[in-house]
Amino acid sequence: GVVRFRPDGSGLETYSDGTRNIYGIAVSPMLDLFARDNTNDGGGWNVRLHHLSGLEDHGYPRLFQNFTEEIVKPLADYGGGSGCGACFIDEPGIPPAWNKRAYTCDWGRDASFRHPVKRQGAGFVENGEPEKFFKMPRPTDIDVDGRSAVYQAAWKGPATFKWDGPAHGFIARAIPTSHVPTTPPEFSVVHDIGLVDIVKHSASHVRRLAAQRMLLRRSFSEEMKNALLEVVQDRSLPLANRVVALYAISQRGLGSQASHDILEILTPNISNDDQIVPMLIRSCGDFGIDLKTAGTRGPVPADLLERWLSSSDSRAILESIIAAVRQGATEVAKSIAVHLASADPLIVHTAYRGLVKLNAHDVALQTFDNEDQMACRGAALALMRMHQPEVVSAMVDRLRVVHEPERRILIIEVLARLAQREASWKGDSWSTRPDTRGPYYQPELWEETPKILTVLNDLLDDPETSGAEAAGIVVALGRNRVRNDRGLAVLLNLAQTNSTLQASLIQQLMQQDNLPAEAIPILTAAVKEPGVSPESLLGIISLLLRSNDPDVFPSVLDAIVTLQRCPAARQQQKLARVALLASPLIQNHTGLLSERLHVEAGGPGGEWYAACLLTIANDRKSEQESRDRSLHALDQAWQQVAGRLAIIQAAFWTKSPIMNDRILAASNDPDKRIQRLAKSTIKRLGIQQEGEDTTQRIEDFPLVDAVVAVNSYTSGSIAMGEVLFTRGQCVNCHTVSEDAPAKGPYLGSIARIYRRPQLAEAILMPNKTIAQGFKTNLLLLESGITMTGFVTKESADGIVLRDVNGKEQSIAFNEIDERMTLPTSVMPAGLMNKFTVHEVSSLLDYIESLAVKKSK
C-alpha cells in the first residue's frame, strides 16, 4: 500500500491499500498520483499502472483473484517486468507532446515510459499505449529539475541482489536542445511578493513548489495572504499555478488552532462553480491534522462537507468523501451513502470504504434496505467489513423478514464474510508468494462466529429452504473460506437429486483439502450427464485425480473424452491435460491406459491415452515396471495407423522425446496423414537426425567459457528449446504460462528483466545469483526431519516447499523447529552438462521468445 504523512510524522495514515511493491509515485500538480506496480512472478499479478486516489483498495494479495468486484481496477496491465521509480513532469523546456505527463521506470524493460492518462469521471483511463521516453539499462528512478533537465538512475552492472563490486549504476541527465532556461533565483532572498509572482507566472512546477515552500517558512502577513488569494481567484491563470497558491494558504490551517481562520479566508472567496473547488475540498480535509493524530473530530463544519458532497462534479464528490473521512465527520455519513448508487465505480468504491472508515454501520444498514439495488450492494460491501455484534444481529433479523431471493443471498454473503475476521498482523513477511485466496490473509474466528454459523446451518437444515438458497449459503461460506462441514453435507445430499447444484458442489469441493467419499458417485455420474459444461468437466477431472480409489480413474478418462468432444473448450482441455499428466496416479493405471489406447486409439481419447503413456515412459521418477509397460503399449499401438496418429499427436503437445526416432521415420509413412503430422511434429519439436548437432557439450568447457559459447551461438532453434525445457527438467520448478500453478521463478517474461548473458549465467551457474524470494530454505522439523527447497506459497498457517525434484509438500509453521536460508540454489549445478551448446542456446532462444509473445 501507500502511506501518507507530514514531514514531522503527524497525520500518518494509509492512503491506498492493496498494491504490491511500489518504488515511486508520480504526483501531478493536481495531486493525482500514479504508480507502476511490480509482478509477483507468475502468481496472477502482473506489472500494473495504478491511479492512487485515496481510501481505495487495489486488491493485493487478498482480493484481486477472487473478489475483483470489491477493488479498484488498474489503469493498465503490462504483463511481466519490474516497475521502479516514477515522476510527473510539468516543465517549460519539455516538448509539449511529452510535457504534463506521468512517467514510470521499468528495470526490466530498459526504459522509462510516458503514460497518456486521461481523466474519466472521478478517476483516469490510459488513453493509448505507453511510449518509451528515456532508454537506458535497468532504470530505477526518474526526476526533473527546475531547468527542465531530466535525470534518470540506472542500475548498470551485474544483475545481482548482493554486493558484487563498486561498478554498479550511474545517473544520466538529458537537457532539452531547444530550451535555454533562466537562472533560478536564490529563493531565500526573494521578497514575499516576488515569491508569489513565481507561483503565479512560472511554467515550472519545480520552481512553483520551491517558491511555495519558502513562503510557508515565513510569517503569514496580510500582504502575502491577499497576494496569494488573488492568484487563487484568478480563473485566467493555469489551474496548476492556482493550486500551488491555494496550498500556500491552506497549509497554514493544518494546526487546529488556525483552521477556522483559514477556512474563513478560503471558502467565502471561491465560487462553487470554480474548477479549483475539488482541490479546495482536498486541502480542507487536512485541516486540524493534530486532531486527527489525536484521534478526534476535525474542524471542518458538517454543513460545508454536506454542501460539497452534493456537488455534481465527480472529482469534487470523491474529494468530499475523502475529506469527510479525514475529518472523522460521521454526521455526514448519510450524504456519503447516497453515492453508493453512483454510476462512477471509483465513487462507489470510495463511498463504501469511507463508511467503513467512519464505522457508520447504522447508515449502512439503512442504505441496505434501500430499494435501489446498486445502493444496497454498496452498503453490503461496507457491512461485510464492520465486525460488530449489532451488525450481525441486524443482518440476522433481516434474514428472518426479507423474502426477495436476490436480497436474501446478499444478506447471506454479508454474514459469510462476517463469520471470520483478519487476525492481528505479527510483523511476519508475506514473502513473494503470499496466499491470494482471500478475503482475509489470516482469517480467525471471533465472538459472533458461532451465531452466524448456527443461523446459516439452521437454514440449510430447514426443508423450506430452496435448493438455490442452500447452494448460495454453501458457496458463500466456501468463497469466504469458512469451514462448515455441515453445509457441505447438505449440499452433497441435495446434489444427488438436483443436477443444477453441480457447479456449486464442484466449486465447494475444490476448496476442500480432501475429497469426501460421498462426492465420488455424484461426480462420476455427472460425467455421463448430457450437457455437462466444460468448466464442470475440468473441475470433475481435477477432483477425481485427488482420489486414490482405483475404480475412479476410468471416470477421469471418460470425463476427458467428453471434454475433448466439447466445442470451444480449448482452455479447459489444456488445463485438464496439465492436471492429468502432472498426476502421480497415472502410473498406477498403465494397464487401463494401454487397453484403451489399443482399442480406442482413433477416438477422441486416443491422444490423451498416448500422452499419459509417453509421460510415464519419460519420467525417471516412475516405477521401472510402469515405464516398461508404457513403452510396450506404445510399441503395440505404433503398429496401427490410428495408434501412430495418436502417439505422434500426443508427442506434439507433450514434447516427449521417447518416440523421436520413429517420428523421423514416420515422415515417410505410406499414410499421407501420418506423413503430414510427423513432419509438423519434427518441425515443432526441433527433432534432429543423428549427427546433425556437432556442437560440444557444456561439460567440455570451463563454466565461464560455456556461458560465452551459448550466449554467442546464433543457430539455435526455438522449437528445440521448448522441448529441452521439458527434457532438461526446467518444467519441474518453472512455469511459462500464467494459467499454470505457480512454482519457482516465472519464466514467461523473464527475458524482459534479464538479458541473454544473465540468463545463460543463471542457467549454467545457478548459485551465482539467486532470484529474490527463491532462496533455498532449510527446514528443521520438530520430528527431526530436515527438508530443503524453495517456498512456492506462504500463508498465515504454513508454507509449500518445492524440492530439487519438483515435489511439493505443505508444512505447517507449528511443525517447523528452525528455518534458515542457504547460499546455494535449489537448481542443481551441472544440470545442463550433458546437453550441447546448440541445445542450451536453443533453450535461451525459447525463453527469449516467450517475452516477445507476452509483449504483443
Q: What integer pLDDT is reported at residue 743 of this predicted model?
A: 74
CATH code of 782's domain? 2.30.30.100
Cis amide linkage into residue 439, ω under 30° from 0? yes
468-502 confidence digits (pLDDT tens): 898 899 889 989 999 888 888 888 888 887 777 78
Determine contact, residues 354/336, Cβ cutoff 8 Å.
yes
Helix and strand counts by DSSP (H, E) for the chain: 33, 22
Place of cell 484481486: 64
In sequence order, what E strands does 363-405 have?
none
Q: What integer pLDDT is reported at residue 71 of this predicted model?
A: 98
Quickly count: other Cβ atoms within 10 Å of residue 619's Cβ: 17
172-183 confidence digits (pLDDT tens): 999 999 899 999
How many domains is the chain built from? 3
Last residue of a domain, one of 532, 565, 582: 582
Does 279 reside within a domain?
A: no
Does 604 reside within a domain?
A: no
Residue 851 CA to chain centroid, in angstroms? 18
Distance CA 202, CA 214 (A): 15
Determine contact, residues 154/183, Cβ cutoff 8 Å.
no
Place of cell 462512477: 344
How are beta strands 150-154 and 123-126 bridged, if at all? unpaired
Q: What is the average pLDDT across 809-820?
A: 88
Q: What integer pLDDT is reported at residue 690 of this predicted model?
A: 65
Does 394 reside within a domain?
A: no
The C-alpha cell at 363 is 447508515
CATH code of 46's domain? 2.120.10.30
Distance CA 737, CA 517 (A): 33
Q: Is the dihedral of CA 7, 9, 13, 14 positive or negative?
A: positive
Determine contact, residues 787/822, Cβ cutoff 8 Å.
no
Widest Cα–Cα separation across the chain:
100
226-255 confidence digits (pLDDT tens): 999 999 999 999 999 999 999 999 999 999
Amino acid at 648: I
Q: Which of 167, 56, 152, 43 is nearest to 107 (CA)?
A: 152
Determine contact, residues 407/371, Cβ cutoff 8 Å.
no
Distance CA 162, CA 164 (A): 6
Q: What integer pLDDT is reported at residue 488 of this predicted model?
A: 83
Amino acid at 750: I
Does 587 reside within a domain?
A: no
Determine contact, residues 35/115, Cβ cutoff 8 Å.
no
Distance CA 263, CA 299 (A): 9
Q: Which of 160, 139, 170, 171 is nearest to 36 (CA)?
A: 139
Distance CA 593, CA 597 (A): 6
Helix, strand, coil share of the chain (percent; to 5): 50, 15, 40
Residues sharing a CB contact under 8 Å with residue 488, sequence separation 6 or more, in sequence order: 474, 508, 509, 512, 516
The C-alpha cell at 765 is 551457474
Last residue of a domain, one of 522, 550, 582: 582
How many angstroms separate the Cα of 704 from the Cα of each of 699, 701, 710, 753, 828?
11, 8, 10, 22, 17
Distance CA 304, CA 326 (A): 14
Determine contact, residues 60/432, Cβ cutoff 8 Å.
no
Among 51-60, 132-141, 162-171, 304-313, where is mean pLDDT lowest?
Answer: 162-171
Q: What integer pLDDT is reported at residue 750 of this predicted model?
A: 82
More confident: 351 or 828: 351
Distance CA 138, CA 150 (A): 16
Partnered with residue 113 across adjacent β-strands are 104, 132
Does 158 reside within a domain?
A: yes
Give the chain's mean pLDDT.
Answer: 90
How many angstroms separate the Cα of 787 from the Cα of each of 584, 809, 820?
21, 10, 11
| Long-range Cβ contacts of 779-784 (<8 Å, 24+ apart) | 779/811, 779/816, 779/818, 779/819, 780/816, 780/817, 780/818, 780/819, 781/811, 781/815, 781/816, 781/817, 782/815, 782/816, 782/817, 783/815
Determine contact, residues 663/674, Cβ cutoff 8 Å.
no
Does 135 reside within a domain?
A: yes
Place of cell 514473502: 431
Partnered with residue 104 across adjacent β-strands are 86, 113
Q: What integer pLDDT is reported at residue 856 of this predicted model?
A: 44
pLDDT class of 854 with cuts at 50, 70, 90: low
Cis amide linkage into residue 61, ω under 30° from 0? yes
Last residue of a domain, one of 582, 612, 631: 582
498-520 confidence digits (pLDDT tens): 777 788 888 888 878 788 889 99
Among 431-440, 478-487, 569-578, 802-811, where is mean pLDDT lowest?
Answer: 802-811
Question: Is the per-residue pLDDT at 196 higher than 50?
Answer: yes
Domain that holds residue 25: 2-144+147-174
How many angstroms separate the Cα of 335 from the Cα of each of 285, 327, 480, 852?
16, 15, 30, 50
Does 464 reside within a domain?
A: no
The C-alpha cell at 140 is 530505477
Distance CA 581, CA 616 (A): 9
Question: Is the per-residue pLDDT at 74 higher than 90?
Answer: yes
Q: Residue 376: helix, strand or coil by DSSP?
A: helix
Does 837 reside within a domain?
A: yes
Quickly count: other Cβ atoms within 10 Å of residue 446's Cβ: 16
Place of cell 491577499: 226
At 463, give phi and psi (nearest 5°).
-65, -20
Residue 129 buriedness (CB in 10 A; 0-12 / 13-18 / 19+): exposed
Q: Where are the alpha helices (DSSP H) in 534-589?
A: 534-544, 553-565, 570-582
Order the strands of the 150-154 sheet from edge to edge.
139-144, 150-154, 170-174
Q: pLDDT above 70 covers what percent of the chain?
A: 98
pLDDT class of 676 with cuts at 50, 70, 90: very high
Q: Which of 55, 54, 58 is nearest to 21 (CA)?
A: 58
Q: Which of 40-44, 157-161, 205-209: highest mean pLDDT?
A: 205-209
pLDDT class of 298 with cuts at 50, 70, 90: very high
722-759 confidence digits (pLDDT tens): 878 877 778 777 888 776 667 777 888 888 778 888 88
Distance CA 551, CA 544 (A): 10
Quickly count: other Cβ atoms within 10 Å of residue 338's Cβ: 15
Q: What is the average pLDDT across 390-396?
A: 98
Residues sharing a CB contact under 8 Å with residue 512, sequence separation 6 or more, in sequence order: 488
Distance CA 588, CA 584 (A): 8
Determine contact, residues 95/79, Cβ cutoff 8 Å.
no
How many angstroms separate the Cα of 428 from the Cα of each of 438, 763, 795?
17, 31, 10
366-389 confidence digits (pLDDT tens): 999 988 999 999 999 999 999 999
Amino acid at 554: P
Q: What integer pLDDT is reported at residue 445 of this predicted model?
A: 96
**N residues, the chain:** 856
Fill in the DSSP letter of residue 656. Answer: -
Question: Is the per-residue pLDDT at 772 higher than 80?
Answer: no
91-123 confidence digits (pLDDT tens): 999 999 999 999 999 988 889 999 999 999 999
pLDDT class of 691 with cuts at 50, 70, 90: low
In sequence order, what E strands does 121-260 have?
123-126, 131-135, 139-144, 150-154, 170-174
Q: What integer pLDDT is reported at residue 39 of this predicted model?
A: 83
Residue 295 CA to chain centroid, in angstroms? 34
Q: What integer pLDDT is reported at residue 347 of this predicted model?
A: 98
Determine contact, residues 733/742, Cβ cutoff 8 Å.
no
Half-sphere exposure of 687 (CA within 13 A, CB side): 24
Determine contact, residues 356/385, Cβ cutoff 8 Å.
yes
At 428, give phi and psi (nearest 5°).
-75, 150
